[in-house]
Amino acid sequence: MRINYDLHDLQAFVAVAEHGSFRQAATALFLSQPALSRRIEKLEEGLGVKLFERTTRRVQLTNVGQAFLVNVRTALDGLEDAVLGVADLAAHRTGTVTLACVPSAVRHFLPAVLRQFSERFPRIRVRVHDESAQDVLNLVRDGQADFGINFTGAEDPEIEFEPIYVETYVLAMRRDHRFARRKSLSWKETVDERYISVAKSSGNRSVIDAALSGVEKHPLIFYEVNHVSGVLALVEAGMGVAAVPGLSVPPGGKDAVIGVPLINPEIHRTLGLISKRNHYMAPAARMLFEMLTESLRKDGDGAA
């Protein structure tokens, strides 16, 4: 079957998918909205499927559209690399690397490494998806990211998990809290505090609940939000305290929120570099992967 579409139609499809809006995609591509709509209609007619669900408020990919997006991105990236030159790519001088990682890794590990990587390979572009642990795992498993930095994936048969950094959970509190000067705190000492927590669907919550399964008295949770960033915002506002991974609390400085290590039980999670098993990693991605491996091992406080 011969499908009547061209490169511009595929680029238009990716732009609408990424912007979630025909207006914004048209602006990015320097097209009129009618012209962009015609390209999408042409592509859908050629494929014989509906790629987007359109309402007056939003544009959303259909299930078929989501699967198609993965393949189109891969094809466009491959074409772009070919145009830039196979020789340059093999020598690590050009290309694009897509990295997925949990937000705490973006803040603590990526800036210094990306600066060093950019100095060595100024023509290599890097896309960073800072997402939840489950989303990071899905992006790597589905091939939408070359590799990831995550604390889940070790049990997944499709994933290679290379442990790099072990972080300890701390009690986040305001700097003026009565426990702020302590070197450590047992869970028992904190049960009467007003706790703030991430939702039960969060990977962080699962780690804590599993570790406290044998503890007689659990802290009472007064506030629950979806993300650690929201938890820390409530802590900073003086709404209570929270058990969070150590990397999520800004180190040193004069920040309003500090973290005190929790003990009895002491809870850890292992951060690692994840990649799809038996999947070829392009030279540019491999270089960044190796630089992150070296950096995280240097920074680790008990790396595996």
Cα distances (angstroms) measured from residue 280 to each of 15, 120, 283, 284, 285: 27, 23, 9, 12, 10
Predicted local confidence at residue 1, as pLDDT = 46
- Rounded CA-CA distance 262/190 in Å is 9
**Phi and psi based region of residue 149 (left: phi greater than 0; alpha: psi -120 to 50; beta: remaining):** beta
Nearest to 128 by CA among 153, 142, 111, 116: 111
- Residue 263: count other Cβ atoms within 10 Å of its Cβ: 16
**Phi and psi based region of residue 267 (left: phi greater than 0; alpha: psi -120 to 50; beta: remaining):** beta
- The CA-to-CA distance between both ends of the chain, in Å, stands at 52
Looking at the whole model, is its pTM more than 0.95? no
Predicted local confidence at residue 252, as pLDDT = 60
Q: How far is CA 32 from the centre of its chain?
A: 33
β 268-276/147-150 pair status? antiparallel
Beta strands in 188-267 (DSSP E): 195-198, 221-225, 242-245, 257-263
Predicted local confidence at residue 82, as pLDDT = 60
Cα four-point dihedral sign 144, 104, 227, 268: positive
Alpha helices in 158-227 (DSSP H): 187-190, 203-211
Contact 181, 171 (CB under 8 A): no
Here the tokens at position 278 are 């038996």
| Residue-level length of the chain | 304
Cα distances (angstroms) measured from residue 80 to each of 7, 28, 72, 87: 11, 18, 12, 13
Each of the 304 residues of the chain gets a pLDDT tens digit; together they read 455 677 888 889 999 998 888 988 888 888 899 999 999 999 988 888 999 998 777 889 999 989 999 988 888 877 766 655 555 555 556 678 999 998 888 877 888 899 999 988 888 899 999 988 889 999 999 999 999 999 888 888 999 999 988 889 999 999 999 999 999 999 999 999 999 998 887 777 888 888 888 777 888 899 999 888 899 999 999 999 999 988 888 766 567 899 999 999 999 888 899 999 988 888 888 889 988 888 877 665 443 3
| Contacts of residue 96, Cβ cutoff 8 Å, sequence gap at least 6 | 77, 80, 81, 124, 125, 126, 127, 284
Contact 127, 18 (CB under 8 A): no
Tell me the CB-side half-sphere exposure of residue 151, using CA atoms within 13 A.
22
Here the tokens at position 92 are 């690590």
- Domains of the chain with bracketed CATH: 7-67 (1.10.10.10), 77-163+271-299 (3.40.190.10), 165-269 (3.40.190.10)
3-state secondary structure of 9: helix
